A and B are shown apart, each in its own frame.
Chain A
């Protein structure tokens, strides 16, 4: 709940009412959870021995994309878009891999902190360019995606370097029960630590306000320029986390960005973030990333040609978003 005034629920009825209103506001996320359960069940049917080990693999595989989706969600909620997410991840990945290779644990920690700072700086540069030059965000970030990708290749032109052993260890293996992968816990903790305080702060409100209606936000006293720069800075930060995840999952630096930018846009759209800004959160996009990964898995187990499976993923994306808009339209009419 977004309310800052602490309202202490007094009895069961009130708690139920609060839960009901939370559910009404997060219909999309709950629907996605339902979809996740469906796809998980389908996976179990197709592959009865799909168990803890497979889920471990899944959690590790989606970790970079999940961070990319969160990065994209933050900037899109504030009314922008960042096409350089994938390039920033590559830059963070190669920087961390080159610096960490054959170094001690302590130095590795310093590298992680340094790379996160690098992400903040790179994101702030993107944001400042959008605000100062007034060139459309899509153009600025597309151009900057080439700049960051080129920089990444200058640092490391083929996959190489290395990851600190502890970095690889914190995302592999289960935590407690074999069904709970460490990678999932790391994702949840890192996103929660940044997102929940942000969501409850005036800054978080300003991000939503800016995306929802820039004029009303200005009139409500939101500092439009600085807020926009902060949004891009946060995107840079989460992209850096994605880059570190790339290094940690692969064990080497990945200088070629792959398709993370477009996958992040697909995930936020499926995750209920409005591309027009102002609506959505980060939980939806993370669930969407898992759903999209499970679709790929299911199609693989079903023996579908991999080329067909990407086309089918695209069709599912359009279908789900269209269905969601239809439901939303009906709710408005009633």
Chain B
């Protein structure tokens, strides 16, 4: 028993991957024993997805050794990875939408009877295999994907955010089936943002930070904090970051009307019951792990998507956006993370900045060139845009491109700015300028909603932060408390009790125990 246990099913040692100057993986290691469910953890940008891509044959590592059952593993495509013993279930279903389920099984040479068996085990026994995949609900597709993978009986089954799109009852079945893999000679690598699921089903967890494996944790009661601690690294131990000139932030008048209000906003299954107020003169941070519904929130607020329920109020009046133009007219302007979404890459800086404010009132008539030039020059000066390559936006650096996307709104006068991760992939100097700009906008009376994937930006730029998890707001945190550890705990939806000082917490537990436990011996 012991010598079998020491033989690793999968071992990855010192795996590294660079993209140009960017280091995606520095030195990642992963050791999976036979018969265990192993969690792979890491915050945004820790290198988790790169490691997953390497193990599934999507990306080739620069160096490092990967062994499956002691044999070298090198895959250049998912089908080669499957032959090497690793099958994965991706975040988006890998089923062909225009084929029926049976044809999809045939395409991957998956055994039909075994798949049927697992479908039944996973809670959808009556699936008609002649159904076209396009017509099936998303949750069923994920289950089919999983059943198909289980039917192949791979050495290592890799599940990437498997439970993200599932309703609670199916999630339970999935976790139960995954748990059953324990003690067999096969293993599961389980990737999830939900620490509760990790605790429920995993034996051990490997934690990545900044491209390196920083620890392997035996999962047991209370190991969540260790995992979060490892994900944070030094920051958790370091002192609190000094919030940027918090004294300069004007106290909000008690009777102020919010610039933007959402009430019970719901978008399909991705976002539910979201209510918050955004006041003039403040920068409100939004914190969420990837895919918790923040994309849908910003799509709704910027008019690209219509909510399935709830109300949206601007300056206290209900609004309904059918088109981004409606949102812009209501003063809600959007700065996306992906500059290519916002800019005309082949056109000049001048045209890009002038576009949004010439379209509404210039309409079909001639453009007032002098007025346009005045506004554009002012915006370029305000944002300190480097105009040496101004004839084509695509030749600007990423930071300067992002400044142009902001400048186009600043030029027209900003009332409410929605920024979705505006500093993604840009240099630290420009980041500082953008924080300062957002603060200046707020000081001038604008309202700013800022989603960021970098937790430390909250204290650098925001007045307070809301945390979204699983499509719901789970916490609102004032800027003075919004250190990275607190935000990350909240983002993983660890209950606030775990943040209480020990003596308070123990007192609370004692009270709860006396209240809820059945009467003890008298």
Binary contact readout B83-126 vs A (1 if CB under 8 angstroms, 0 otherwise) = 00000001011111111101110111100100000000000000
Determine how close the nearest CB of chain A comes to the CB of B392; give it in whole angstroms.
22
Please count how many residues in chain A sit with their CB below 8 Å of the partner chain's CB atoms. 25
Residue of A nearest to B112 (CB): A5
Residues of B within 8 A of A3 (CB): 100, 102-103, 130
* A218 in contact (CB, < 8 A): yes
Of B99, B109, B130, the residue contacting A209 (CB under 8 A) is: B99
Binary contact readout A214-245 vs B (1 if CB under 8 angstroms, 0 otherwise) = 01111111110000000000000000000000
Determine how close the nearest CB of chain B comes to the CB of A126; give it in whole angstroms.
24
Of A21, A25, A209, the residue contacting B107 (CB under 8 A) is: A209
* B82 in contact (CB, < 8 A): yes
* A271 in contact (CB, < 8 A): no
Determine how close the nearest CB of chain A comes to the CB of B369; give it in whole angstroms.
37
Determine how close the nearest CB of chain B comes to the CB of A263; give it in whole angstroms.
25
Flag if B107 contacts A220 (CB, 8 Å): yes
Given known contacts A218-B78, A221-B77, A279 and B98 CB-to-CB distance under 8 angstroms = yes
* B433 in contact (CB, < 8 A): no
Flag if B112 contacts A220 (CB, 8 Å): no
Question: In the complex, A4 Cα to B94 Cα: how many Å?
Answer: 21
* A119 in contact (CB, < 8 A): no
Residue of A nearest to B93 (CB): A216
Given known contacts A21-B130, A218-B78, A221-B78, A212 and B103 CB-to-CB distance under 8 angstroms = no
Flag if B106 contacts A220 (CB, 8 Å): no
Of B78, B90, B92, B97, the residue contacting A212 (CB under 8 A) is: B97
* A133 in contact (CB, < 8 A): no
Flag if B107 contacts A213 (CB, 8 Å): no
Question: In the complex, A213 Cα to B78 Cα: how many Å?
Answer: 15
* B79 in contact (CB, < 8 A): yes
Of A21, A205, A219, A278, the residue contacting B94 (CB under 8 A) is: A219
Flag if B82 contacts A216 (CB, 8 Å): no
Residues of A within 8 A of B96 (CB): 208-209, 212-213, 216-217, 220, 278
Question: In the complex, A328 Cα to B414 Cα: how many Å?
Answer: 43
Among B82, B98, B103, B130, the one with the most A-chain Cβ atoms within 10 Å of its Cβ is B98
Flag if B107 contacts A5 (CB, 8 Å): no
Residues of B within 8 A of A264 (CB): none
Question: In the complex, A219 Cα to B94 Cα: how many Å?
Answer: 6
Flag if A211 contacts B78 (CB, 8 Å): no
Q: Which residues of B in the span 54-82 have a Cβ within 8 Å of any Cβ on A? A: 77-79, 82
Residues of A within 8 A of B93 (CB): 216
Residues of A within 8 A of B130 (CB): 3, 21
Residues of B within 8 A of A211 (CB): 98
Question: In the complex, A216 Cα to B130 Cα: how many Å?
Answer: 19
Determine how close the nearest CB of chain A comes to the CB of B119; give it in whole angstroms.
15
Residues of A within 8 A of B109 (CB): 202, 221
Determine how close the nearest CB of chain A comes to the CB of B95; give it in whole angstroms.
6
Residues of A within 8 A of B102 (CB): 2-5
Flag if B97 contacts A222 (CB, 8 Å): no
Flag if B99 contacts A221 (CB, 8 Å): no
Flag if B99 contacts A222 (CB, 8 Å): no
Determine how close the nearest CB of chain B comes to the CB of A279; give it in whole angstroms.
5
Determine how close the nearest CB of chain B comes to the CB of A203; give it in whole angstroms.
10
Flag if A212 contacts B98 (CB, 8 Å): yes
Residues of B within 8 A of A222 (CB): 79, 107
Residues of B within 8 A of A212 (CB): 96-99
Residues of B within 8 A of A202 (CB): 106-107, 109
Q: Which residues of A in the span 128-149 have a Cβ within 8 Å of any Cβ on B? A: none
Of A4, A21, A221, A278, the residue contacting B82 (CB under 8 A) is: A221
* A95 in contact (CB, < 8 A): no
Given known contacts A209-B99, A219-B78, A279-B98, A4 and B106 CB-to-CB distance under 8 angstroms = yes
Question: In the complex, A220 Cα to B104 Cα: how many Å?
Answer: 8
Flag if A216 contacts B97 (CB, 8 Å): yes
Q: Told that A2-B99, A208-B96, A220-B78 touch, could you supply 5 new A-B pairs with CB distance under 8 A?
A: A202-B106, A202-B109, A205-B103, A212-B97, A278-B96
Which are the 5 A-B pairs with shortest beta-carbon distances? A221-B79, A219-B94, A278-B98, A212-B98, A209-B96
Give the B-binding residues of A (Cβ under 8 A): 2-5, 21, 25, 202, 205-206, 208-209, 211-213, 215-223, 278-279
Please name 19 pairs of A and B residues whose Cβ atoms are closer than 8 Å in the assembled complex, sorted by A: A2-B100, A5-B102, A205-B106, A208-B98, A208-B99, A209-B99, A209-B107, A211-B98, A212-B96, A212-B97, A212-B99, A213-B97, A215-B92, A216-B96, A217-B96, A220-B95, A221-B77, A278-B98, A279-B98
